[in-house]
Structure 1
Amino acid sequence: MTAPLPAEWAPHRAVWVGWPSHAEYWFEPFEQARDEVEGLVRALAGPGREQVRLMVGAPELAEGVRARFADLANVEVVPGVFGDVWLRDTGPLFWAGSKTAAAFRFNGWGEKYVMPGDETVAEQIGVHSGATLSWNDFVMEGGSLDHDGEGTVLTTRQCLLNPNRNPSWNQDEAVATAALAAAVGAKKVLWLGDGLLNDHTDGHVDNLARFVAPGVVACPIAWGRNDPNAEVYDAVARDLSVMTDAAGRKIHVLRIPSPGLVLDEDERPIPASHMNFLIANGAVIVPTYGDDRAADMACQALKEAFPDREIIPLPSNAILTGGGSFHCISQQEPE
């Protein structure tokens, strides 16, 4: 039987972060995105925290990035090749000890964003980390799952059962559940419905609901009158409240204020989420989007969930223009 993947709060030997490497994918926010990723890296590399493996998507950039972080001994710049920074989705998922990892086919989020090199990221990370990859013959991104370390997996039907990923699954939860059992040791899959409005990942769960402890799942509550995802958030909370995990515990739902309505340059709602936090050794890094009150309340709620970790809010507006935030651009190697 396949062992369950460790929970993200388990100790890490390292964490991977993707460095924005291609200005043509970012346009005007490119330098601001780099500044925001630098802030994340420096928070992760704080005393007693993480060995950071900073993957640069074009080898010729490596020397300049090394100079940028020359003051941090525990930041390793890894030259690589990728289309964009979303290592949570393109990289492998590591088991305890990080000697082995699960890898999956990647098709550019349902063939919407196919960029050269992304399909090879899992292999590159496996080679550099020394992990043996266990390849699975289906399409999946790491951000479409969240797990509690005991075999309970959270996901959304909108993404995992989307015919643009694995049409042969034909919307069949049982088939997908069996695939996850074999691939990542899922003992029970908790199926949610839709993700955030205009989420080009087709509803990744790491923007919607996250385990913060066994039997405890955080999900948003609407902030402000015009929150475009208010109904989705309430539906998620209702669904979770009647679920149990793989150990038979009833799920406790922790509601955390959303960032509210966040608009892009064309005045369209974009999928900003405090749920895209990154659990690190000794810290939780929380993305913020300009509303200090919403961010402060979200951080207070997360402090209740993680009383033994420092809660660090950092801006992520520019990273969000690329489609995600801190969780999306990272991947941990557990001890």
Structure 2
Amino acid sequence: MEDLFELAKSGEVTPAELGYYFPAEFAPQDSMWLSWPHKEESWPGKIEKIFAPYSQFVKAVANAQKVNINVGSEEMKDFATKHLEAAGANLKNVSFHQFPTNDAWCRDHGPAFLINPKAEQKKVIVKWNYNAWGDKYPPYDLDNQIPIRIAEYLGIPYFKPGIIMEGGSVEFNGKGTLLTSTACLLNKNRNPHLNQSQIEKYLCDYYGVQNILWLADGIIGDDTDGHIDDITRFVNEDTVVTVVEENKSDENHEILAENLEFLKKMRLENGKQLNIVELPMPSPVIWEDQRLPASYANFYIGNEVVVVPTFRDKNDQKALDILADCFKGRKVIGIDSTDIIWGLGSFHCLSQQEPAVK
């Protein structure tokens, strides 16, 4: 055990070499990790409106599994507790941790949990570097420490690849395939010293995958430069849902049509074609003359629920019905994300799963 801590720190061995891999989100989870929202600049003029839907999100997941929430102070913990109580959340399943953050986007600044059921140490963390999507929103020094804080709290080793990577930029089927986008991972504001093949090696070494599939651009309004979790998501080992825009005059139409064509040509790690389920887009969500990255693909898969952002739109129910058909063993819950999306992300962006392992 101590040897693994030393190996991880030294960088002499990669998680993949030790048999670790990143499970699919639909695999069993120990908990969900969050960082309580507090940065007013992320929701200018609207932050007070997000706590109710955010708390409904916590409630939906905490009914059936643990939820860990990073907070910056006792005052923030009390504030969060008040909102969660008002929402009727099961506080017995909610734990707070005094791990201060700069912002709320735990998908990107949180730890990447890898597992190896056959190892003595069954769970490890990869601590990627984080620069707030290409240094767009400094400071991010506290966010950058969150994976280490959580690893130390859990008493598990952590690996430090030393490059920028965000959880929202990668999607997994848990069997060796990773889906991402060139718009984000090849953007020069992340790792300008690395080419595509070098980035692929990092993905294989530190996520334990063997097959990498590349889509192109992300949706309009996405300040992350094309995160995959707004576009295409695995719902089982060989099936993805991918958003499409039927309105040909919409800016997203061509982008998403191109990505759909890419998906049709892709092959999984076993050589099979992807099963593709098309998911509609909501009508444009505009606030203060800015188009926001509203997408039904930004859902969170919990042990018993799938929490889906909705936007007071005619396509809300259609999207929920499609996802309910994809997740027959889980309850699909739509929560109004019209205010949350002003922060340019939704439920998946705000959360990070911790897998269970026996």
Query: After the TM superposition, which residues 203-282 of structure 1 pair with which residues of structure 2 at under 5 Å, given as runs?
Result: 203-222=226-245, 224=247, 227-266=250-289, 268-282=290-304
For 2:197 and 2:44, the matched residues in 1 are separated by 42
Mapped partners of 1:263, 1:6: distance in 2: 35
Q: Which runs of 5+ in 1 are unaligned?
A: none
User: 1:59, CA displacement in angstroms?
Assistant: 4.6
- What aligned pairs does 1:60-99 form with structure 2 within 5 A after superposition? 60-69=75-84, 72-96=91-115, 99=123
The total of aligned residue pairs comes to: 329
Q: Paired residue for 1:138?
A: 163
| Secondary structure class of the residue paired with 2:266 | coil
1:71-95 per-residue CA deviation (whole Å, 9 max, x = no partner) reads 6211112222111100000011112
CA contact (8 A) 1:194 1:232 kept: yes
Measure how far apart 1:127 and its partner are: 2.4
Q: Deviations over 1:209-244 (max 9, x none)?
A: 111111211101215565431111111111000100
CA distance in 1, matches of 2:251, 2:284: 6
For 1:23, the aligned partner's letter is E
For 2:203 and 2:355, locate their aligned partners in 1 and report how far apart those are by CA, in whole Å.
20
On the 8 A contact 2:22/2:114 being kept in 1, the answer is yes
Q: Is 2:52–2:83's contact at 8 Å kept on the other side of the alignment? A: no
Match of 1:120 in 2: 145
- Comparing 141-150 with 214-223, greater Cα deviation is found at 214-223
1:1-335 equivalences in 2 (<5 Å)? 1=17, 2-46=19-63, 49-69=64-84, 72-96=91-115, 99-116=123-140, 117-169=142-194, 172-222=195-245, 224=247, 227-266=250-289, 268-291=290-313, 293-335=314-356
TM-score (norm 2): 0.88
Per the normalisation by structure 1, the TM-score is: 0.93
Cα distance change, pair 69–263 in 1 and its aligned pair in 2 (3 A): closer
CA positional deviation for 1:64: 3.0
Greater alpha carbon shift after TM alignment, 217-226 vs 200-209: 217-226
Deviations 1:8-43 (CA, angstroms, capped at 9, x unpaired) = 001111111221123344232111111111010011
Distance 1:324 1:212 in 2: 20
User: Do the aligned residues in 1 keep the contact of 2:221 with 2:344 (CA within 8 Å)?
Assistant: no
